[in-house]
Amino acid sequence: MDISRPRLTLANLLLIDAFTCAVMGVALCLFHALVGGWTGIPGPLLFWAGAALLPVAAFMTTTALIWPAPSPAATIAIAGNALWIVASLALPMSGAISPNPIGWAFLITQASFVAILTMAEHAATRAAVAAN
């Protein structure tokens, strides 16, 4: 099995990433107070995080559909994911927010999912560049 060759194209991975951003963005905008109550994460932070995900989803969709080959836009999407991961863990570790155990699980789970997508997007970018 060749693990260096990604199974999904960069465009498909960006579309998956865009879809998950849109779903999470809408969910956080609609249910920020409920999720905040369950997690101990401030509701307004969840709302604005969700609102920020919506244009990100549009950017990733546009990138996947207009520039299916690796482009600076794909690199921006990958870097944005990396920043999301860092922020998800840095906010509670710095004491800026104080999530409860469910909140920690929420943050770690979503950061892990984003990390997996980011690594796959990076590998797909490298494979596409090597193929061109």
pLDDT (tens digit per residue) in 48-76: 999 999 999 999 999 999 876 777 888 99
| pTM for the predicted model, two decimal places | 0.89
pLDDT at residue 6 is higher than 90 = no
Note the pLDDT tens digit of each residue in 76-125. Answer: 999 999 999 999 999 999 999 999 999 999 999 999 999 999 999 999 98
Q: The dihedral of CA 115, 118, 124, 125: what is its sign?
A: negative
Non-local (6+) Cβ contacts of 73 within 8 A are 59, 62, 63, 67
